[in-house]
Structure 1
Amino acid sequence: MIIKLIQPKMIMRPMDTQLKTRMSPSLGLLTIANIFHNEHTVIIENENIEDINFNDVVDIVGITVTVDVMVRATEIAEIYKSKGIPVVAGGIHITAFSEQVKKYFDVISIGLAEKTWPDIIRDLQDKKLKKIYSCNSEIKGCEIVSPGYHLIDKKKYLFCNVISTSRGCPFQCDFCYNSSEAYKKLYINRPIIDVIADIKTIGKRHVMFIDDNFIGNPKWTLEFVRSIRPMHLKWNAAVSANMVDMLDLLDEMALSGCESLFIGFESLNENAIKNIHKGQNNIRKYEKLVEEIHNRGIMINASFVFGLDADDSTTFQTTLDWIVKNKIETVTSHILTPYPGTIVYDEFVTNDRITDFDFSKYNTANVVFKPPNMTAEELYNGYLWIYKQVYSIKNILKRVPKTHRQRVPYFLFNFVYRKFGKVTDNICKLITYERVGKIAEKLSYRL
């Protein structure tokens, strides 16, 4: 059989360049591909990189769907359905909002692909395809399939050295998909031996672990980082703010090659954090967390969400001052977005606070609800303002890391990726994204 897997074109945010779409390939689609590539022909198309070939002959199409590409996903589905080709939709939006989206596709896959796609292909071959396939049984870590790294066209991406060590998150913050019924009980680590096998398959010393929460199970994380220490890796990951209470683990992470950590600080307002039930964040310990991480020579990518119910128009300046004071190396900011299926979405619908149900705007760069303490325009303008201020030359120079070995990656990200990303993207088009990624790794980590 010929299985075609599609990643629809993402909706760009005002500060994004094409580098965003070329950062790394979809591990979800590569996982599905790896399940079947020995028995079937698998085609993967990323619409962010290439046009979809609607004229090729295939037996089934799978589309991975996030909320902001939902509109485009339905358009793609209609074209294939008109040709009599069954279309399967899966991904985080489909799983969290399954009842409302099932009418747009022939088949919906709810949950992890390892538990649904084998049944989908078997039933297609038997001409018994059903409408809904759901991951009903609990998946074991050993059942998680490695992505098909050998199927990646590396010239198209900056980094292909991305690995997941787990699925899900132990926390259920109200605005996050993990607060939806479909994800509430999902958190599982992969066997350490399997993750190490993926590292060896990639064959690079720089690795990006792209889990929701790398320290969701601290005992597992401790064993893992001790296991990879002899490999002399340089690695990055995302952790929760309760890392501040695990300094012994942070020591081991630093010794094993941790270079930077993505952390969802979200807000400097204690009431805002309480309102979204993000209990793992203690604002009074934020500066200690930053200090402990920096003392170990590790950089921080801080994430903030603007538009929480306790926010007002002063939030932006307060946040900027804190970022500069604490020399936060990189910042990712978002406008609060009520993802369908989450607690925030349900509350906003109940209270008639959503002003726009065009899901193509649900990319954390648009105001689609009524904020209580400022206007929608103030929220949007503040969001653009803080990005401009954080990545101004003046504030980039103010935030230079004290640790000398982190200064090259710091300047590369702040200037080459963020400040002058359009120039960098043009260079990538000339010499390939892969080569630019390799140069950045070599300069940053002396690989």
Structure 2
Amino acid sequence: MKIKLIQPKMLKRPMDTDLKTRMSPSLGLLTLANLTPKEHKVIIVNENIDEIDFDEKVDLVAITVTVDVMKRATEISREFRKRNIKVAAGGIHITANPESAVGVFDIICIGMGERTWPKLLKDLENNPIKEIYYDMENISGSEIVSPAYNLIDSKKYLYTNIVSTSRGCPFKCDFCYNSSKTVEKTYINRAVEDVIEDIKQLNTKHIMFIDDNFIGNPGWTKKLLKEIKPLNLKWNAAITSNILDNLNLLDEMKESGCQSLFIGFESINENSIKSVNKVQNSVDRYENLVREIHKRGIMINASFVFGLDEDDKSVFEGTLNWIVKNKIETVTSHILTPYPGTKLYEELLNQGRITDFDLSKYNTANVVFAPKNMTKEELFEGYLWIYREIYSFKNIIKRLPDSKKQWIPYLAFNIFYRKYGFITEKICNIFSFKRVGSITRWLSYKVS
């Protein structure tokens, strides 16, 4: 069979350039490719980069769906189905909100690909196929399949050295997909030896671990760190703020090459944190957390969510002042977004507060609900304002890290990715995203 795997085109947020869409390939599609028996031919299309050839003769199309591309995925499905080509869809949005996908695609897959994809391919060969492939049973870490890294066209991406060490998260924040009724509260670590094999296959000293929570099982994380320490890597990952309760682990992360950590602070308002069941966060410990991480020479990428029920329009200036005071190196901001299937969505829907059901706007850059203590306009304008202020020259200088070794990676991100990303994008189009990404990493990790 000839199988086409598609990542639909995303709509960029106001601060995004093509650097965002070219950051890295889809590990989900690469994993499906590796799950596919070798007698089948696999074609991977990232619509953010390449056009889809709807007239190419294929036996099956499979689309990975996040909420913001559901609208586009529906259009893609319609085109292929008009040509009598079967279309399957999976991904986190399909798993969390399967009822929205029934009838839109010929087949929907609910659960992890390691369980559903082989069953679908087997049925497709033998007929008949099912409309729904459902498997939410927990899988073991040894069942998780490595991505087909050999299929990546590295010239098209800034960063291809991405590795997943786990699936899921042990927490159930109300705005997260993990709060969905169809998503079990699971956290599964891969076999350590499989992770090490992926790192060796990539043949690089720079790794981005893209887990939801790199420290969901601290004991397992320590085992991995012990194995990667001799590899002399430079790496970054996403963790939760409760790392403050395990400073020995933070020490080991630094010793094994950790350069920066993504942390979901979400809000500096304790009541806002409590309103979405973010039990692992405690605002009164934030500054101590930042101090401990910075003391170890690790940079922070802080994530904030605006529009929580305890927020009013003063939240933007207050958050900016906190970010600048604590010299947070990079910031990712979001407008609260009720993903269908989550606890937050159900609550806002029952309260009649969801005002826009166009899922293409559910990318954390649009106001699709009625905020409680500010207007929709105040929320949106505040969101744009804080991005402008964080990445103003004045505040870039104020947030300059104390360690001079961090100046080059810090300035590279703040100036060439965020503030002047549109210029860097043009340079990438001339010299290739791979080359620019490689030069940036060399400057960040070798020169600094």
Instruction: Normalising by structure 1, report the TM-score.
Output: 0.99
Letter in structure 2 aligned against 1:182: T
Q: Does the residue aligned with 1:77 lie in a helix, a strand or coil?
A: helix
> 2:153: which partner in 1?
153
Matches within 5 A, 1:124-273: 124-273=124-273
Cα distance between partner residues in 2 of 1:217 and 1:415: 35
> 2:59: which partner in 1?
59
Cα distance between partner residues in 2 of 1:243 and 1:79: 47
Letter in structure 2 aligned against 1:268: I
> 1:398: which partner in 2?
398
Deviation at 1:181, TM superposition (A): 1.8
Q: 1:139 to 1:392 in 2, by over 3 A?
A: same
Kept in 2: contact 1:254–1:296 (CA 8 A): yes
Kept in 2: contact 1:415–1:421 (CA 8 A): yes
Cα deviation 1:9-59 (Å, max 9, x = unaligned) = 001100000000000000000000011152210000000001101111100
> 1:389: which partner in 2?
389
Cα deviation 1:334-362 (Å, max 9, x = unaligned) = 00000000000000111100000010100
- Count of matched residue positions in the alignment of Structure 1 and Structure 2: 447
Q: 1:204 to 1:37 in 2, by over 3 A?
A: farther
Kept in 1: contact 2:112–2:136 (CA 8 A): no
Kept in 1: contact 2:136–2:184 (CA 8 A): no
Cα deviation 1:104-138 (Å, max 9, x = unaligned) = 11000111101001010110111211000012432
> 2:293: which partner in 1?
293
Matches within 5 A, 1:74-85: 74-85=74-85
Q: 1:92 to 1:237 in 2, by over 3 A?
A: same
Cα distance between partner residues in 2 of 1:243 and 1:183: 25
Q: Does the residue aligned with 1:104 lie in a helix, a strand or coil?
A: coil
Instruction: Normalising by structure 2, report the TM-score.
Output: 0.99
Deviation at 1:182, TM superposition (A): 2.5
* CA RMSD, Structure 1 to Structure 2 (Å): 0.8
> 1:446: which partner in 2?
446
Letter in structure 2 aligned against 1:232: N
Kept in 1: contact 2:30–2:147 (CA 8 A): yes
Kept in 2: contact 1:172–1:184 (CA 8 A): no
Cα distance between partner residues in 2 of 1:269 and 1:117: 43
Kept in 1: contact 2:235–2:258 (CA 8 A): yes
> 2:40: which partner in 1?
40
> 2:343: which partner in 1?
343
Percent of aligned pairs sharing the same letter: 62
Cα distance between partner residues in 2 of 1:184 and 1:170: 10
Cα distance between partner residues in 2 of 1:326 and 1:404: 17
Relative to structure 2, which stretch is displaced further, 316-325 or 397-406?
A: 397-406
Relative to structure 2, which stretch is displaced further, 193-202 or 136-145?
A: 136-145
Q: Does the residue aligned with 1:103 lie in a helix, a strand or coil?
A: coil
Q: Does the residue aligned with 2:101 lie in a helix, a strand or coil?
A: helix
Q: Does the residue aligned with 1:133 lie in a helix, a strand or coil?
A: strand
Cα distance between partner residues in 2 of 1:134 and 1:166: 21
> 2:417: which partner in 1?
417
Deviation at 1:103, TM superposition (A): 1.7
Q: Does the residue aligned with 2:413 lie in a helix, a strand or coil?
A: helix
Letter in structure 2 aligned against 1:191: A
Cα distance between partner residues in 2 of 1:117 and 1:223: 30
Letter in structure 1 aligned against 2:435: R
> 1:304: which partner in 2?
304
1:91 aligns with 2:75: no
Deviation at 1:66, TM superposition (A): 0.6
Structure 1 residue ranges, 4+ long, deviating more than 4 angstroms after superposition:
none
Cα distance between partner residues in 1 of 2:213 and 2:201: 23
Structure 1 runs not aligned, ≥5 long: none
Letter in structure 1 aligned against 2:306: F
Letter in structure 2 aligned against 1:227: E
Cα distance between partner residues in 2 of 1:97 and 1:190: 26
Cα deviation 1:235-274 (Å, max 9, x = unaligned) = 0000001011110000000000000000000000010001
Deviation at 1:102, TM superposition (A): 1.4
Kept in 2: contact 1:168–1:183 (CA 8 A): no
Cα distance between partner residues in 1 of 2:142 and 2:39: 21
Structure 2 runs not aligned, ≥5 long: none
Kept in 2: contact 1:335–1:365 (CA 8 A): yes
